[in-house]
Structure 1
Amino acid sequence: MGTGPERIMYPELWQPESMEEARKIADNVSPHYQWAAGTTLLRTQWEMGTAPVPKHLISLANIRELNACTTEEEGLRIGALMRLNACAAFERIQTHFPLLSQAIDVISAPSIRNLATLGGNIVSGVGDSIPVLLVYEASLRWMTDTGLTEKKLTEWLEEWRRGQRSADHFLTEIWIPLPEPKPEEESHTVSFFKKIGRREAFTPALVTIAFHGTLNAQGEWSSLAMAAGGGSGTAMRLFQTEKWIRQFPVSRLPLSELMKQVQDEFVTISDVFATDTYRKQAAAGLFASELWKSMRFARYSV
């Protein structure tokens, strides 16, 4: 005779109302806990069996300061618990960081974006917002057992790749510096975000790329940043390719050589959906296609 269905074990839920309270709870139940916000990704991982269900779940949803978005003279501070749809609709984000709104609009489905948070998308390590935040030079602020600490997104991603990320730390906010103002008649912005997926929403992207740069009146690069990611691989800035591109006025950029530069530098992985070679080629093709459009514009306007 059967013993009946296996009993499902649910975590004990904690709902602190301040970062200090959250830190104390974590210290008391360590190491058998997990931080949570929208939990959209966590629930998927638990159901698929790709991540264990913790004994304790510490929700950060009631900490008001983590839901705020404030504009300062030098940049924008986005609380890690801001819902994705709220971020995409925030006027200052649309005005100063439009690529972030574009990236958010293609993350999962609308109902998921009403629950999922920007911080959750980042700490997943593979979120579609990461390439955009890389080209915007974003930094992350974390609550650690010794207090608040801030580090560049590029630095945190490198720690992620090396397995040095600490699960005890929780993300409190994202800082994006405002670009320095430039005379409109002396500069032209080249900015784009592109994503290739197996379908429109709710599946991991095969490839995501982001590019943000400015051209001076001579068609030379005043600033330039590019990043690529996708799948379960970690996104990265393409610093060497950026340096290589700066050698050329945009109107004379050799696109075939650009594609080779991207493929040589972009480090990604193979999985059941795509090989690393495919991802490299797709990213290179997307960069070349979008920059070709900029070259055409430059021939007529610079």
Structure 2
Amino acid sequence: MSIPMQRLPEQQPSVWQPASVKEAIQLQKQWGDAAVVVAGGTWLRTRWENGVSAVPQHLISLGRIPALKSLSMDERRVVLKDGEHELMGPLYIRYGPLLSLSAVMTSELTREHAPLLLQACAEVAAPSIRNMATIGGNVMTRTGDLIPALLVLDAQVVLSDGGQERKLSLQAWLAATADPSEIMTGILLPLQATTGESKSCQFYLKAGRREAFTPSVVTVAGELTFQPDGTIASAKLAAGGGTAIPARLTQAEALLTGQPLSKALLKKLHSVAYEQCAAVPDDYAGIAYRKTTAANLIVSECYKAWRGSKGGGADAPES
């Protein structure tokens, strides 16, 4: 979709291409609200074309900062003592925020260690858009479809003030007010140690107004870990969609943890998930529809995960 001629600004925005994060932050401070930091620009362009946001006077492109396009394994290790055993602490995959979604999807690190993120990326827009859209841009919108998956994966964001970097959980970052004096320089995914005694199942679902290439009405993600007897050892659930800020469903997680799955528990899960899911209405879907859809998807996927943990048996949970 192109901008109608009558809506084109009299003067196109100035495009700045800083060579470092420090320089980008200096430009951001210099221009203030008249400037917008841009990565792939796919989300910003739709907002400008739909009249949601005004075209800014200045665009600060991060495309010339090589470090923001990197993808690496964090080699720092922490030795933890557990009785007589020494365990290696989790490593991290570090995604540069300017990595395109296509680059994230084709990475062997993603395929091996973060298949849930790969699945979420595959649900975003069309392939041509995924070649331009970036993982950092999706997160920076605070409503991106990748965020529920990243929340379930316990992602952290790395922020820089041009001098020093700091880490913050994605969940905490979403709950805080954005600091204009910082730029996101990394997204970290911890690699969790696995044991042979438990089995984990992950899921990601996006419901839209049509089957493909559509904005989300609801996105849900989850990870359930089961003990050999079918008891839920741990649960991670997250939901978002539309213009709602995604969040972990901590009450639903607490409800499931330590419990064997049952029809009564699934019914209660639906109620708790419905209450905790954030939803913002628009012209296409109201709050009740979004919350009901999210709760339905979560209950359905938890049941499927339970069946998978039992070897695919058809037996329903006991009431």
TM-score, normalised with respect to structure 1? 0.91
Q: 24, 27, 31: which one pairs with 2:26?
A: 24
- Report the counterpart of residue 182 of structure 2 in structure 1: 169
Change (3 A) 1:172 1:130: same
Q: CA deviation at 1:42?
A: 0.9
| Aligned-partner Cα distance in 2 for 1:56–1:80 | 21
Q: Distance between the aligned counterparts of 2:181 and 2:211, measured in 1? A: 34
Larger mean Cα displacement after TM superposition, 198-207 or 221-230: 198-207
User: What secondary structure, in the 3-state scheme, does the structure 1 residue paired with 2:37 have?
Assistant: strand
Aligned to 2:283: 272
Q: Amino acid of the residue matched to residue 168 of structure 2?
A: K
Tell whether the 8 Å contact from 1:34 to 1:56 is kept in structure 2 after alignment: yes
Aligned to 2:241: 230
Distance 1:103 1:301, change over 3 A: closer
Contact 1:154 1:237 in 2 (8 A): yes
CA contact (8 A) 1:251 1:298 kept: no
Normalised to the residue count of structure 2, the TM-score between the two structures is 0.86
Please show how residues 130-141 of structure 1 align to structure 2 within 5 Å.
130-141=147-158
Q: 1:265 to 1:7 in 2, by over 3 A?
A: closer
Map 1:1-150; keep pairs closer than 5 Å: 8-73=10-75, 74-144=91-161, 147-150=164-167
Shift in Å, 1:144: 2.7
TM-aligned CA deviation for residue 290 of structure 1 = 1.3
RMSD: 2.0
Question: Given the superposition, is the C-alpha separation of residues 120 and 7 from structure 1 closer, same or farther in structure 2, using an over 3 Å criterion?
Answer: closer
Q: Distance in 2 between matches of 1:251 and 1:301?
A: 16
Following superposition, the deviation at residue 204 of structure 1 comes to 1.8
Does the CA-based 8 Å contact 2:244-2:279 persist in structure 1?
yes
* Equivalent residue, structure 2, for 1:241: 252
Contact 1:238 1:262 in 2 (8 A): yes
Amino acid across the alignment from 2:241: G
Deviating more after overlay: 83-92 vs 214-223: 214-223
Q: Which runs of 4+ in 1 moved over 6 A?
A: none
Given that 1:251 and 1:296 are in contact with CA atoms closer than 8 Å, whether structure 2 keeps it comes out as no
Which residue is 2:228 aligned to? Answer: 217
Query: Which string of whole-angstrom CA distances, capped at 9 and with x for unpartnered residues, describes residues 116-165 of structure 1?
Result: 10000011111110000000111111223664222111111112xxxx22
Instruction: Please tell me whether residue 158 in structure 1 is matched to residue 171 in structure 2.
Output: no
Measure the CA separation in 2 of the matches of 1:9 and 1:200.
39
Judged with a 3 Å threshold, the aligned counterparts in structure 2 of structure 1 residues 145 and 299 are, in CA distance, closer, same or farther, namely closer
SS in 1 for 2:168: strand
Quick check: 1:106–1:200 contact (8 Å CA) kept in 2? no
Secondary structure, counterpart of 1:219 in structure 2: coil
**Structure 1 CA distance for aligned equivalents of residues 28 and 162 of structure 2:** 9
Deviation, 1:300, is 4.7
Name the amino acid aligned to 2:149. V
Give the length in aligned residue pairs: 293
Q: Identity rate of aligned residues, in percent?
A: 37
What is the distance in 1 between the residues matched to 2:131 and 2:242? 23
Q: Distance in 2 between matches of 1:145 and 1:204?
A: 34
Q: Tell me the amino acid that sits aligned with residue 95 of structure 2.
A: I
1:111 positional shift? 0.5
Query: What SS does the aligned partner of 1:132 have?
Result: helix
Give the Cα separation in 2 of the matches to 1:125 and 1:188.
31
